[in-house]
Amino acid sequence: MLDNKNIIVGVTGGIAIYKTLDLISKLKKENANIEVIVTKAATEFITPLTFQTMSQNKVHFDMFGLVNEMEIEHISLAKKADVILVAPATANTLGKIANGIADNLLTTVIMATNKKVVFAPAMNTQMYKNPIVQNNIIKLKELGYEFINPGEGRLACGDEGTGKMAEPIQIIEYLKNLFTEKDLIGKKIIVTAGPTQEAIDPVRYITNRSSGKMGYAIAKEASRRGADVILIAGPTDLEVPDGVKFERIITTQEMLEKINLYFDDADVLVKAAAPSDYKPTHFSDKKIKKETGIDKLEIDFEKNPDIAAYFGARKKNNQLIVGFAAETDDLYENATKKIQSKNLDFIVANDVTMEGAGFEVDTNIVSIIYKDGTIENLPIMEKSELAKIIIDKIKNILE
Ligand SMILES: Cc1cc2nc3c(=O)[nH]c(=O)nc-3n(C[C@H](O)[C@H](O)[C@H](O)COP(=O)(O)O)c2cc1C
């Protein structure tokens, strides 16, 4: 998504500058082409040599330097950029740009560009709250400049409050959103993710190894592409993607009820969760004790509702349901049966016994099986990559 994008990183003299090194390193791993422009104050904190090494490009700071005989550096940089990101953005630099001052290379490039400019401000809380700074931010927003808001916490100066520069992963996420084509605007997509838990007594439950990573990756990708996403997830410790409506559930029954709230209006249901097929027949409201002389504990289980089959039966012609099959044997046979019995549009099947596939890992190896029996085998890939492929397939069918 950031492959070969020309990102100009403007670096100003704030203490959060140390995070910018990590940001540049992460952007390089995303194959972005990075050109750094530093202000004089920034060079008091970190030398241009460090930025040059991290970005693997010449660092720009000289207003009056020539790129080659014919080009003027600020014009050339302003033209070349796909986006200009200022991180950290000081109160001083924000103030200058809001007031039309172009007295260094960074402010001049920003003045000379028609490309998107994104600021990640970072400063002491009182400085951030200062009405002059706030007015400058409002003015810049009105003019179309974008902001990645600072977070709250303990600041480098020891104060507590708002002013921490957004984390590099948040900034990268923001840039990825910026470069993603919004081809799912107006579509409502429900994504389920993670395991469910079925209680045995107040302290015990049965569950499964689902981590929720696949469902969360799909929700993130769909939202990034402009869909209206409702993520319904069992217990996981994953971060909810920005812009996604989130519903936490514990049991399979709760998952079914939550989907029910949204299903009629939805265009797509992606069932990436692993809801428990069975639940204990009786819930003991007191903790089951270890009895002396009894070596075996038997628990009876009863069937939970089959969520995929339930919604498959209710599905209207313009709705699409995507299922997942995590199998340990007879992968194709089991997955194909599921498509038919549950009225799915396609199923993403994986053999969870394979290394690099299934639960708890960041990668997956899947086959996509369609209604007509066509099978597409995909190589091992990151779940985020697979999410893109699944969303592409959904988009094609919706069209
Ligand atoms: C140790 C230190 C830390 C600073 N941290 C910040 C900061 O986090 N945010 C900020 O807006 N200014 C900060 N400043 C003040 C800026 O460096 C100062 O306003 C400078 O003029 C900014 O210039 P620039 O915007 O051209 O980089 C700091 C100054 C010092 C000495």
231-271 tens-digit pLDDT: 999 999 999 998 999 999 999 999 999 999 999 999 999 99
CB distance 166 to 124 below 8 Å: no
**Residue 166 CB neighbours (<10 A):** 23
Q: Give residue 142 CA to ligand 1 midpoint distance, Å.
A: 25
Using N-to-C axis directions, what is the helix angle for 91-98 and 131-142, rounded to 10°?
50
Residues 168 and 208 in one domain: no
For residues 263 and 318, give the distance between their C-alpha atoms in angstroms, rounded to a whole number: 12
Co-location of 143 and 197 in the same domain: no
Q: Which residue's alpha carbon is at the smallest distance from atom 16 of ligand 1?
A: 13
3-class SS of residue 317: coil
Number of domains in the chain: 2
What is the pLDDT at residue 69? 54
CA distances from 168 to 216, 221, 255 (A): 20, 19, 34
Confidence grade of residue 159 (pLDDT, cut at 50, 70, 90): confident
349 in the same domain as 246: yes
Domain-ending residue, one of 122, 150, 179: 179
Residues 206, 339 within the same domain: yes
Contact 206, 163 (CB under 8 A): no
The CATH number given to whatever domain includes residue 136 is 3.40.50.1950
Question: What number of helices (H) and strands (E) belong to the chain?
Answer: 14, 21
Nearest by Cα to 344 from 320, 366, 316: 320
Residue 240 CA to ligand 1 center (angstroms) comes to 33
**Domain CATH for 373:** 3.40.50.10300
The last residue of a domain, from among 149, 179, 209: 179
Say whether both 95 and 213 belong to one domain. Answer: no
Tokens, residue 389 = 């492929």
Contact by Cβ (8 Å): 150, 128: yes
Helix (H) or strand (E) holding 327: strand 320-327
> Could you report the per-residue pLDDT of 48-65, keeping only the tens digit for each?
999 999 999 999 987 776
Q: How confident is the model at residue 161 (pLDDT cuts 50, 70, 90)?
A: confident
* pLDDT confidence bin for 68, thresholds 50/70/90: low
The answer to whether residues 173 and 203 belong to one domain is no
Q: Which of 200, 98, 201 is nearest to 143 (CA)?
A: 98
- Do 358 and 210 belong together in one domain? yes
Q: What is the β-pairing status of strands 228-233 and 245-248?
A: parallel
**Any domain includes 91:** yes
Residue 20 CB–ligand 1 contact under 6 Å? no
Do both 306 and 208 map to the same domain? yes
141 appears as a binding residue in the annotation: no
Asked if residue 362 is part of any domain, the answer here is yes
Do 151 and 248 reside in the same domain of the chain? no
Mark whether 200 and 309 lie in a shared domain. yes
Amino acid identity for residue 190 in this structure: I
Domain span at 220? 188-398
Is residue 271 within 8 A of residue 212, CB to CB? The reply is no
Indicate if 229 and 358 belong to the same structural domain. Answer: yes
What percent of the chain lies above the pLDDT cut of 70? 97
Per-residue pLDDT averaged across 298-325, rounded? Answer: 95
Structure token digits, residue 185: 């605007």
The amino acid sitting at 170 is: Q
33-42, 128-137, 217-226, 348-357: which range is least confident on average?
348-357
pLDDT: is 291 or 311 the higher one? 311
Could you tell me if the CB of 120 is within 6 A of ligand 1? no
Question: Which residue owns the Cα nearest ligand 1 atom 5?
Answer: 14
Domain membership of residue 228 (yes or no) is yes
Is residue 75 scored above 90 in pLDDT?
no
**Same-domain pairing of 140 and 199:** no
Last-in-domain residue among 146, 179, 212: 179
In this structure, of 68-72, 264-268, 394-398, the range with the lowest mean pLDDT score is 68-72
Give the nearest ligand 1 atom to 96 CA. Answer: 25
Q: Let me know if residue 1 belongs to a domain.
A: no
Predicted pLDDT of residue 355:
77
Residue position matching structure tokens 């639940």: 279
